[in-house]
Amino acid sequence: MKTLLKSARIITASDEFSGDILIDGERIKALGAGLEADGQTRTVDCTGKFITPGGVDVHTHFDLPMFGTVSSDDHYTGHKAAAFGGTTTVFDFISQDEPTLAESVQSWHAKADDKAAIDFGFHMNISHFDDAVAKEVPALRDMGINSLKVFTAYNGRLRLDDGDIFRVLRIARDNRLLVMVHAENGDVIDVLVKEALQSGHTSPEWHALTRPAAGAVESVFRVIQLAKQAQAPLYIVHMNTAGGVRLLREAREQGLPVMGETCPPYLFFTIEDLKKPDGAKWICSPPMRSLQDNQVIQKLLGEGVLQVMATDHCPFFYDGTKPILYEGNPVAIPGKELGKDDFTKIPNGLPGVGDRMLLMWNYGVRKHMITPQQFVAQHCTNPAKIFGIYPQKGALLPGADADLVIWDQDNPITYGVEVARHRTDYNLYEGWKLQDTISGVYLRGKLIVDNGQWMGAKGQGRFLHCDDPQVI
């Protein structure tokens, strides 16, 4: 079956033009002006609309156990929310919970494959490391995985010491793998958390106060130097401090193969939000910073210093004692109420996979923080290139998968939990006004969101075998 999208404003990472897109089966067949339909082609009039590639969110956490509960979106509900927000590809992180890396990969496929509603890839967490793990790592490439994640925080649980991070970087270098790093100072955090609890400080803002920005900046500097010594590329996740992003700029100016990602909440929220009566809603790691951090990150995002906008989607109920209706069924999952008397017991994570594209178009592009081309680059093309799925994903090109988002211009809505479709009971952007909205989303040529209606299905998503990562 062919579909012809006619008379749209087409936006890519490098261009913008008026024209048509012909879809043949699962792929884009042609782009151009005046394309004609035959008798077997369905024609969709896109006059007054614009089209971007489907979004690629390379930082999500579905069905993730934490603090005696689990993130409230699984690989169906989270994928579905992503689709309503214009994202057609996501990457999730595999926990190193099984005796071998291969068994850990298998356990995540068991979670995801039958539920996936959009296409997906995996990153592999390396949270404990020894010679046996070192020998296993190269085989990840045969499993379709080209990226590893390490942590400089979460002592005793996820953190590797600097020597092991250095070893992982060298193994990655030699096997065409990319190392991602969560950069905070775990030692400082442990000291400050202990002191805060001993002093009776248990409210949500202490989550941020015990994870200081200076520790994140120091850790960014340290991991960049480790990567430099290992002569390996590096990707720093969820960058959230002005100082850290300035270090990224400096490293790139020196020609180092270092890339950075940020997330929308680090542009729009601060520690002051954690001081609100419902401050637990904003608890994530790394935490919200200052207004000055936000402003500098916004500026450097517009200057192209950061390559990727992701979400770190890891939602929890604000009050998991009260069920919500999801697809007509009551659902209640223990959430942030678990830490109502102790900030260290609040599950760390925010909903966001469905928010990213809508929020950043309306409050990024429309507010002149970034250009339309930067929007497509940061949300679609760059992440696809970096993680080895371009031009299959993240592109509007002949031969690419027909993953497309049709946007309505000047069709305002009030955003919030009911619009976002995450399986949780709150949204950070409740009441925000959106001027441009999404009317259609195609996954490999199939219309899966049509004017607010879900046309997709559980299990339709496919696992993506990633090629070599790219440094951009």
Give the ranges where 280-402 is alpha helix by DSSP (H). 291-302, 356-360, 372-376, 382-386
Tell me whether domains 2-52+397-454 and 54-386 share a fold: no
Q: 232 burial class (0-12, 13-18, 19+ CB within 10 angstroms)?
A: buried
Helix (H, G, I), strand (E, B) or coil at 361: helix
Integer Cα distance of 232 and 224 in angstroms: 10
Instruction: Answer whether residue 1 shows pLDDT above 90.
Output: no
The percentage of the chain sitting over the pLDDT mark of 90, rounded to a whole number, equals 99
- How would CATH label the architecture of 2-52+397-454? Roll (2.30)
Parallel/antiparallel/unpaired status of strands 2-11 and 16-24: antiparallel
From the list 37, 39, 44, 38, the residue with the least C-alpha distance to 8 is 44
Nearest to 407 by CA among 446, 435, 377: 435
Find the mean pLDDT for residues 371-396: 98
Query: Which residue ranges make up each domain of the chain?
Result: 2-52+397-454, 54-386
Report residue 438 as tokens.
């999404």
Would you give the distance in Å from CA 179 to the centre of its chain?
A: 16
**What was the pLDDT predicted at 11?**
98
Q: What is the DSSP string of 204-250?
A: THHHHHTS-HHHHHHHHHHHHHHHHHHT--EEE-S---HHHHHHHHH
pLDDT digits (tens, 9 = 90+) for 149-178: 999 999 999 999 999 999 999 999 999 999
Cβ neighbour number for residue 126 with a 10 Å cutoff? 26
Which stretch of DSSP H or E encloses residue 304? none
pTM score: 0.98
The amino acid that residue 119 corresponds to is D
pLDDT reported for residue 71: 98
Structurally, at CATH architecture level, domain 54-386 sits in Alpha-Beta Barrel (3.20)
pLDDT tens-digit series, residues 63-114 = 999 999 999 999 999 999 999 999 999 999 999 999 999 999 999 999 999 9
Residue 469, strand partner residues: none
pLDDT averaged over every residue in the chain = 98
